[in-house]
Amino acid sequence: MENNLVIETVDLHKEYKRDEFQVIALQNANLQIHKGEFVALMGPSGSGKSTLLYLIAAIDRPSQGRVRVLGQDLQQLSDKEIAHWRNEHVGFVFQTFNLIPVLTARENVELPLLLTNLSKKERIEHAETALKLVALSDRMTHYPRQLSGGQEQRVAIARAIVTDPALILADEPTGDLDAHSAQEVLTILTKLNQEHGKTVVMVTHDPHAARYASKIRYLEKGELLPEGSPPPA
Amino acid sequence: MAIPFSYNFRNLRVRKTTTVMTALGIALTVAVLLGIMAMVVGLNVALQATGHPLQMIVVRKNSNSELGSQVAREALLSIKYKDGIQKFPNGEPMVSGEIVRVINLPRKNNPEGANVNIRGLSQLGIEMRPGIRLAEGNWFEPGQREIVVGQSIALRYVNAALGDTLRFGRGDWKIVGVLDAGKTAFDNEIWGELNQIASDFNQNETLSSVLVRATDPIALEALKNSMADDQRLYLDAKSEVEYYSQLTSSADPVKFLGVFVAIIMAIGSSFAAMNTMYAAVVRRAREIGTLRVLGFSRGSILLSFVVESLLLSLLGGLFGVLLVIPLNGLKSGIGNFGTTFSEIGFDFRITPFIVLVGIAFATIMGIFGGLLPARTAAKQDILNALREL
Ligand SMILES: Nc1ncnc2c1ncn2[C@@H]1O[C@H](COP(=O)(O)OP(=O)(O)OP(=O)(O)O)[C@@H](O)[C@H]1O
Ligand SMILES: [Mg+2]
């Protein structure tokens, strides 16, 4: 059971100092997510969902507490090691897609592979495979501005999975999408979870989106509510 | 592997107006510097190549040039019999007494004219300058009002071609030949027979200078010293090579001004590049954050922005080189106010070295302009970067 743990946070605490004020974004979060789970993080705005996700992705460092992801204690890694680690193990999907506007769909997807030892030919193959998985084989040479929001987000997902990471983190991936595109994106995430065995953690406001997850965890005012709690009012 | 160049290229293309403006600023800066260098190199070629390493020019003590100098004709005899002087096969010492005067001639692009050196010399003097040959025509005949003009004169002055007649001194002189002095200072002179010139300019008692060739470098030094030490002769001797290269110093103020302007412009252009790059860093904050999330290190972000600034400045450098290339071979002249009163013609020379200097100069501007913005980009916190719009 222990080796099945993909994410484990222990008394995770994060506060931001803003001017004189201290904002407690997350307090004493103890979260355990197992391999193959698809977890939705929900809660009101400002409840600390993104903060938690960033700490798991080691994009931010905790004020206190520990994060262990895929057997790695993140606080033990230097900035440089973390960059490398994230490239290899974590795929991150943003609400705003964040594709590089001057690169084509395929080049965007190829980007993370530039940090690997793959040859140019292999990189292109991998990128094309990833784009095929999100059903965008016919859009490889398109630039982001030539794509719809839904297509952009699917390219972003292809970019997140191209290095074949075990963990996919998504911060409101459907937040900027219409219902139809949102459904496509959720279907892809579900497929990645069920057919490819990826562990998925998705922050969302949308109860409809959360239904795709195998488990929902709620946050409120920086606190992670116990498993099985009803949604906060 | 780092962030690919194509990413930077395309970003430069996306903001093409800013890119072109910034690059043009850099281009002008490079052009100013290279223009000056092309002139200096051309001038150096014209002057430094002049002269035989074993020869010296003897002038009156404290005269900086042949023009201001007077050497009594009798002195020529004392010089001739000094030790260490090379001899022609027929036993004649290699010593040539010469007269140099200056006249004003109308130039093709300047009717007010410019100063030109007239040199009166004998057959000996011609033979002591082995680098010189006739491009056209013949040498002047003794006793005739005939002259030979340097190539540069023939090209740039009015009525100065082979067969033309120039009026100076006491009357007309026929141009019977054109000198090819291999772009040395003699290309800017008019030569005539010593005695003809002497009588035309009423200078029968004195010479302007005496050209002497020593047998070897040691003898050259010894001769120079003995010349300077002879109180009775009251003469100074300079090695011929030294004499001509010292004339380049007349271009020093232009050189200084040019380099000064280029440096000021370079600082301006660096700031322009910096400004452009700062704007790019701000505009692409979210992109930078995203790249970091994908696993690119601070180092590769830094490198990427420096590379982008470099590409920008290299583009400018390239423009700059293209701007000055038409100068190559362009003929120009510069007055020698300091030491002689004549004008030295020279060709602008864009050598591969000059092109390299231009590119290097642009590179330096690019690095200076890019480093600080790139550092800002690299130091940015990922989360703050992602929050930017
Ligand atoms: N860099 C920061 N500086 C100061 N305060 C911050 C910073 N980032 C987050 N916070 C604060 O931390 C708290 C949690 O923020 P977080 O972004 O995690 O909320 P969230 O649950 O993702 O909200 P939303 O649903 O609106 O995205 C908020 O009160 C926020 O204002
Ligand atoms: Mg959030």
**Taking CA B315 as the corner, what is the angle to CA B309 and CA B320, rounded to the nearest 5 degrees?**
125
Q: Report how far ligand 1's centroid is from the alpha carbon of B29 (Å).
A: 48
What is the arithmetic mean of pLDDT over A104-128?
Answer: 96
Domain range list for chain B: 5-48+250-388, 62-233
Instruction: Quote the percentage of chain B above a pLDDT of 70.
Output: 95
Interface check B1 vs A, CB under 8 A? yes
* pLDDT value at residue B1: 62
Q: Å from A98 to nearest chain B CA?
A: 7
Spatial separation of the C-alpha atoms in residues B19 and A158, rounded to whole Å: 32
Residue-level pLDDT at B227: 87
Q: Which of A83, A94, A96 sits opposite B295 (nearest CB)?
A: A83
- C-alpha–C-alpha distance, residues A42 and A209, integer Å: 10
pLDDT in tens, B276-308: 999 999 999 999 999 999 999 999 999 999 999
Give the per-residue pLDDT at B250.
66
The answer to whether B64 faces chain A, any CB pair under 8 Å, is no
CA distance B248 to B379: 50
Of A59, A92, A159, the CB nearest to B383: A59
Q: Residue A91 pairs with which residues in a beta bridge?
A: A168
Q: What is the mean pLDDT of residues A166-193?
A: 97
Give tens-digit pLDDT for A44-88: 999 999 999 999 999 999 999 999 999 999 999 998 899 999 999
Reading phi first (left if > 0) and then psi (alpha if -120 to 50, else beta), residue A195 is in alpha
**Of A204, A169, A156, residue with least CA distance to A54:** A169
Angle B138-B50-B228 from CA coordinates, rounded to 5°? 115
Stretch B46-63: mean pLDDT, rounded? Answer: 85
Output the residue whose Cα is nearest ligand 1's atom 31. Answer: A46
Q: What is the per-residue pLDDT for B62?
A: 85
The candidate with the shortest Cα–Cα distance to A154, out of A165, A164, A140, is A140
B218-269 pLDDT tens trace: 999 999 998 888 888 899 998 888 887 777 676 778 778 888 888 898 898 8
- The answer to whether ipTM exceeds 0.85 is yes
> What mean pLDDT do residues B132-158 have?
92
Contacts of B288 in chain A (CB under 8 A): none
> Using an 8 Å Cβ cutoff, are B122 and B194 in contact?
yes
Find the range with the poorest average confidence among B40-49, B52-61, B362-371.
B40-49
Within 8 A by CB and 6+ apart from B188, the residues are: B46, B116, B117, B150, B152, B153, B333, B342, B343, B344, B345
* Mean pLDDT, residues B320-342: 72
Say yes or no for a CB contact (<8 Å) between B293 and A86: yes
Task: Report the candidate in B60, B95, B286 with the shortest Cα–Cα distance to residue A144.
Answer: B286
Predicted TM-score of the model (pTM)? 0.79
Q: Rounded mean pLDDT of B148-153?
A: 92
Chain B CB contacts of A101 under 8 Å are: 14, 287
Give residue A206's pLDDT: 94
Cβ–Cβ contacts within 10 Å for residue B67, how many? 19
Tell me the residue type at B247.
L
Give the pLDDT confidence score for residue A152 in this predicted structure: 98
CB A134 within 8 A of CB A188: yes
Interface mutation target, options B9, B13, B291, B293, chain A, most CBs of A under 10 Å: B293
Residues lining ligand 1, Cβ inside 6 A: A 16, 18, 23, 25, 43, 45-51; B 383
Nearest to B295 among A87, A102, A103 (CB): A87
C-alpha span between B181 and B359 (Å, rounded): 33
For residue B168, report the phi and psi dihedrals to the nearest 5 degrees.
-160, 170
Q: Is B290 on the interface with A (CB under 8 A)?
A: yes
Average pLDDT, chain A: 95
Q: How do residues B80-99 score in pLDDT, each as one tens digit?
A: 989 999 999 999 999 999 99
Q: Which amino acid is at A87?
A: N
